[in-house]
Amino acid sequence: MIARLRRSAAFVLLAFSFSVVMIGTTMPTPMYALYSQQMHFSVLTTTVVYATYAAGVLFALLLFGSWSDVLGRRPLLLTGAGFAILSSVIFLFVDSVPLLLIARIVSGLSAGFFTGAATVAVIEAAPEQWRGRAAAVATVANTGGLGLGPLMAGFLVQYAPWPTHLAFVIHIALVLIAVVALLLAPETAPKHGKLGVQRLSLPQEVRTTFAAAATAGFAGFAALGSFTAVAPGFLSTVIGIDNHAVAGATVFLVFGSSCIAQIFARQVPAARALIIGCAILLAGMLLIAIALLTSSLPWYLASAVAVGVGQGISFSRGLASIAEKVPEDNRAGVTSSYFVVGYIGIALPVIGEGLAAQEWGLRTAGVSFSLAVATLTALCLIAVIWQERPRREVAASTTTG
């Protein structure tokens, strides 16, 4: 009974810590408009500041992604929590773009150290009755935290004092509680192997599937990046809504929809789910274009839900479609490659959108970006359907035979 209680408590504490750390990575989103006013920078600078987060994540994932297998989960989790606290402390003193960039890089490091180790730790700590749903709990903790960050910060910026400081003070307090939770939770992994850099790999037998799934992942992450970096600008400049709480709630809609979609799509065959996810993501990107052309908040909110659902399904089931075909000894390298493509997607296209906004204005840049991602998603959709044709033809001939 005590052992079971301890395992259940560890499961809850680890999931709580996961959410708390991820909250800090998206909290600055509703504040970018205030930072740009205070420091007099453009949308392009906003997108560059946002993209530095992805650089921090990639650095930590590639250099230290496999270290939790060697050192145990706890050291990596505590390191990630430490970077989360450091990031929020830096944000308390941000008064220039260079300091803002440093804060975002450190935030990326916190996510890079924490995400892989926390996902595995939550699954390993799951009690027997939760074993089949542990991966879904890890997904909710991760994506839910990403969504709660802008929601919480948006309301604090709009309705509480110290708009660019209070959220980070609260986050520091939450992460300190998470550190205590991590120290109380038992280590979940046996230590084995040796330290090294995470190697990327792509075996021949998985390359075709990887190309389609990674393209969908790239498109979905690009859409997420646009919402997380530029949504407040769209709402205030194009749609005419300056409420920071609405901006935060819009980003929460995207991540919340993604989270729910990933949970409900678990039982759908990977290839079919990838087709469904790409189709919904395509519809979501077209809805963004309509919302920006008509300056419509309802359409923009609808696009947030559609993009979240499409991204959640295509990303999670795209990864599953790759896992079905990759040899087990190459799984870590292929998975890392998939995440690298995703985080490049969350950074570079958004910077391109910022450059376009500087030249053409935010509305034209947003519509152009949406149509470009929609085109990429449509190509991915066609490719996946084409790949599935031989399998469907074999199934049909078997049935008729």
In a domain, residue 192? The reply is no
For residue 125, is it within any domain?
yes
Q: How far apart are CA 260 and CA 97, in angstroms?
A: 35
Total domains present in the chain: 2
In a domain, 7, yes or no: yes
Q: Summarize the confidence of residues 267-288 as an average pLDDT.
A: 92
Return d(Cα 166, Cα 247) in angstroms, integer: 17
What sign for the dihedral angle of Cα 284, 290, 292, 298? negative
| Domain match, 91 and 209 both | no
Q: How confident is the model at residue 8 (pLDDT cuts 50, 70, 90)?
A: confident
Does 152 lie in the same domain as 62? yes
- In the block, which residue shows the tokens 């990674």? 214
* Domain-embedded: residue 193: no
Judge if 144 and 267 occupy the same domain. Answer: no
Convert the pLDDT of each residue in 59-74 to its tens digit.
988 888 777 777 888 8
* pLDDT exceeds 90 at position 287: yes
Same domain? For 231 and 265 the reply is: yes
Position 3 scores a pLDDT of 45
Name the domain boundary from 139, 155, 187.
Answer: 187
Q: What is the pTM of this model?
A: 0.88
- The residue to which tokens 């590639």 are assigned: 62
Place of tokens 């960050």: 149
- Write out pLDDT tens, residues 325-335: 777 666 667 77
Same domain, 78 and 26: yes
| Both tokens assigned to 97 | 């773009």
Check if the beta carbon of residue 104 is closer than 8 Å to that of residue 28: yes
Q: Report CA torsion sign: 117, 120, 124, 130.
A: positive
Which range has the worst mean pLDDT, 94-108, 205-219, 322-336? Answer: 322-336
Domain span at 219:
199-401
Angstrom distance (rounded) from CA 28 to CA 26:
6
Q: Are 203 and 343 part of one and the same domain?
A: yes
- Shared-domain flag, residues 1 and 124: yes
Of 127, 159, 187, which one is at a domain's C-terminal end?
A: 187
194, part of any domain: no
Q: How many whole angstroms separate alpha carbon 153 and alpha carbon 171?
A: 10
Asked whether the predicted pLDDT for residue 33 surpasses 80, the reply is: yes
Q: Considering the domain boundaries, does residue 284 fall inside one?
A: yes
281 and 401, same domain (yes or no): yes
Tell me, yes or no, whether 74 and 167 share the same domain: yes
Structure tokens at 15: 């999931």
| CB 108 within 8 Å of CB 54 | yes
Same domain for 257 and 318, yes or no, is: yes
User: The CATH number of the domain where 240 resides is what?
Assistant: 1.20.1250.20
- Which of 187, 219, 242 marks a domain boundary? 187
Residue linked to tokens 């773009």:
97
Collect all residues with Cβ–Cβ distance below 8 Å to 247 and sequence separation of at least 6.
Answer: 29, 30, 33, 150, 154, 231, 232, 235, 236, 241
**Residue 160 sits in the same domain as residue 241:** no
> Do 33 and 147 reside in the same domain of the chain?
yes
37/41 Cα distance (integer angstroms): 7
Q: What is the pLDDT of residue 161?
A: 95
Question: Is 25 within the bounds of a domain?
Answer: yes
Does 19 fall in a domain? Answer: yes
